[in-house]
């Protein structure tokens, strides 16, 4: 059974950094694109970043230049390095695995993803 487990969230002051991790198990991690999403209270879930199996990436405009998505296929782990955090980055962050069979695709919408983690909370406040 596939499982994604996020970690690394927490509280940080504006301008600070956090590194999120997502440990994957129960499926062939290295064959699927992966993504990070976030959802703030009262708002829709939005895509933050995505990465395919050849490490091509894409980012939401709001995080470009501040966030970096990466993956370690040997460890079945996805990362999100978040720098220069802003209060508007406060949200629950989720990792997700794409459907099988399209390893070069970079999905944007939540409904394109197959597996989801339970989320890790990020709070940016002074």
Q: Give the whole-number percent of the chain exceeding pLDDT 70.
A: 100
pLDDT of 82 above 90: yes
Q: How confident is the model at residue 29 (pLDDT cuts 50, 70, 90)?
A: confident
* 52-71: b (≥16 Cβ within 10 Å) or e: bbeeeeebbeebeeebbbeb
Transcribe 27-94 into DSSP letters: S-GGGS-EEEEEE-TTS--EEEEEE-TT--EEE-TTTTTTEEEEEETTTTEEEEEE-S--GGG-EEEE
According to the model, what pLDDT value does residue 1 have? 86
Q: How confident is the model at residue 27 (pLDDT cuts 50, 70, 90)?
A: confident
Structure confidence by residue, pLDDT tens digits, 52-61:
999 999 999 9
Segment 74-82 shows an average pLDDT of 97
């Amino acid at each position: 059974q596939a499982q994604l487990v996020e970690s690394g969230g927490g509280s940080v002051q504006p301008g600070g950094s956090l590194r999120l991790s997502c440990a994957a198990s129960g499926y062939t991690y290295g064959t699927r694109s992966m993504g990070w999403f976030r959802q703030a209270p009262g708002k829709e879930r939005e895509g933050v970043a995505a990465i395919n199996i050849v490490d091509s990436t894409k980012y939401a405009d709001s995080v470009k230049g501040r966030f970096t998505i990466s993956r370690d296929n040997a460890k079945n782990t996805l990362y999100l390095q978040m720098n220069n955090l802003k209060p508007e980055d406060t949200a629950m962050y989720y990792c997700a695995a794409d459907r099988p069979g399209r390893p070069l695709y970079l999905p944007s919408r939540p409904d394109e993803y197959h597996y989801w983690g339970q989320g890790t909370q990020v709070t940016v406040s002074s």
